[in-house]
Amino acid sequence: MITGTSLLKNGRVTGPLPSVKDLVKNKIVHAITASRYWSSSENSQNNSWNVNFSNGNFNNNGKNNSNMVRAVAALNDKYVEGWFDALDDCCAQKKTSSQCVMYRLIWHEDLLDLAREVYERTYRPTTSTCFIVTRPKLREVFAANFRDRIVQHWLCLRLEPLFEARFVEHGNVSFNCRKGFGTFACIDQLTKNTIEVSDNYSHEAWYAQFDIKGFFMSIDCERLLEYLLPFIKEKWNYWKGTIYEQDLDLVLWLTEVIVRHRPQDDCIRQGNLKLWRILPKNKSLFYIEWMRGEPIGNLTSQLFANFYMSFFDEWAIKAAEERKAKYVRFVDDFSFVCKTKEDAIYFKRASRNQLRYILNIQMHPNKIYIQEVKKGIKMVGGIIKPGRAYLSNRTVGNFINAVSYLEEACKNCDKEAIYANVRSINSYLGFLIHFQSYGIRRKAFSELHYFWKACYIQGKFQVVKIKNTVQCL
């Protein structure tokens, strides 16, 4: 990967060089369209180097010929800094998506225009695509335009380290949307908490788990900004002495633009429109009050939501310490392991009040789970019992369904669906391999037919890979 810092320096490549087809005399060229492009290097007084994008060949022609130009030597490093990194980050897991493919055809024409819009503060998010997914449950999703996703990645690259430092300071009690954390790490920590509080199950201990009602749709955007903007100002010294130091005012402006953006006012609905009739209104941005909710599907929504909940974490950590309990959170599922049932009931009542006071959101009245730890505790797809942990029936069922969806995609030779379902299954496999689940994994793939035409399995049913040449019947 060529990052923004190594890509350009006085118009020349400074990092590891790409293949010769991507360069003309150490000048950047973009083999995107079937046209001839001039480079910024002369071959002689009368000739200049150019590249033919239809076949990748390069040669020199007379300067009187009419070819297109992609000059890079005149670009200001300060102007482009970080935008190549944002594009790379945005494309990292989306190279096969149609929007990514289409943008990569024009990025050399648009990326710096996008950067200019942000720097001149004329940028506004554009039309999103909205649809409803049905698994594992009905959920409204907004897919931002690809250039808007690049802006989100540019912003998150600057904010994520500030948030991460806050999560570490809190003792790593949050396990979602963080590198090196995740569902299994959450279960592992919860197991350690249970063993510690119950003295390895030799004493009474209770588990209390709660949820937030319509979490993403209920986020108070004004309250979020009240916490977010002062925090960024206070912690921006993190970037002192780096290229990001100059971006503070721009980051504050862009953060507010994104938080205040209402994608439901400018979107295209796709998929089965009848699903909106059965989707509860409190789970849709189309029916909630103004300046409530952040769209599921945006990278910034995940990051901001985790930061938002960190202010509840502050109270929960202190309350748990006072009662010699332990606290963990995964997105909006949070739990306490405590010594008595009375403590569990206290945390139920106090959490409801503190969520309303600190974040202006409501605890879900029906998703309350209080149980003695010896009887087993449920958390993010796993069940923990003394000396062992195993998968919940719901997780197993969702995994089997995901495998059947991939089989159907392979049968239809729907390559985009194949890539999407492989990512989903590998996410499940990354979780399942931490449990005694070999038999479950093997059985799920044993009766497939079309799957093997497009994919194969590495290891002991640990990772699904797509064949270089996908052949579907």
Q: From CA 286, how far away is CA 264, in angstroms rounded? A: 6
State both tokens at 384. Answer: 């923990």
CA-CA distance, 430 to 394, in Å (whole number)? 16
Token duo for residue 215: 């979490």
- Record the tokens describing residue 362, joined without a space: 């409501």
**Could you please report the per-residue DSSP string of 298-330?**
-HHHHHHHHHHHHHHHHHHHHHHHHTT-EEEEE
Name the residue ranges covered by the structural domains of the chain.
27-70, 183-214+304-376, 390-466
Q: What is the pTM of this model?
A: 0.77
Which residues are registered as beta bridge partners of 337? 207, 326
- pLDDT tens-place values along the chain, 473 residues long: 333 333 333 333 334 433 333 433 333 333 334 455 555 556 676 777 665 655 556 677 776 776 665 544 344 565 577 898 899 988 887 777 788 888 888 888 899 899 999 999 999 999 999 999 887 788 999 999 999 999 999 999 999 999 999 999 999 999 988 888 888 888 889 989 999 999 999 999 999 999 999 999 999 999 999 999 999 999 999 999 988 888 999 999 999 999 999 999 999 999 899 999 999 998 999 999 989 999 999 999 999 999 999 999 999 999 999 999 999 999 999 999 999 999 999 999 999 999 999 999 999 999 999 999 988 888 777 788 887 778 888 888 889 999 999 999 998 888 878 888 898 899 889 888 888 889 999 999 988 989 998 899 988 889 999 988 766 54
List the one residue out of 455, 166, 470 whose CA is nearest residue 307. Answer: 166
Fold classification of 183-214+304-376 is: Alpha-Beta Plaits (3.30.70)
Phi, psi of 349 (to 5 degrees): -65, -45
Residue 393 CA to residue 8 CA, distance in Å, equals 52
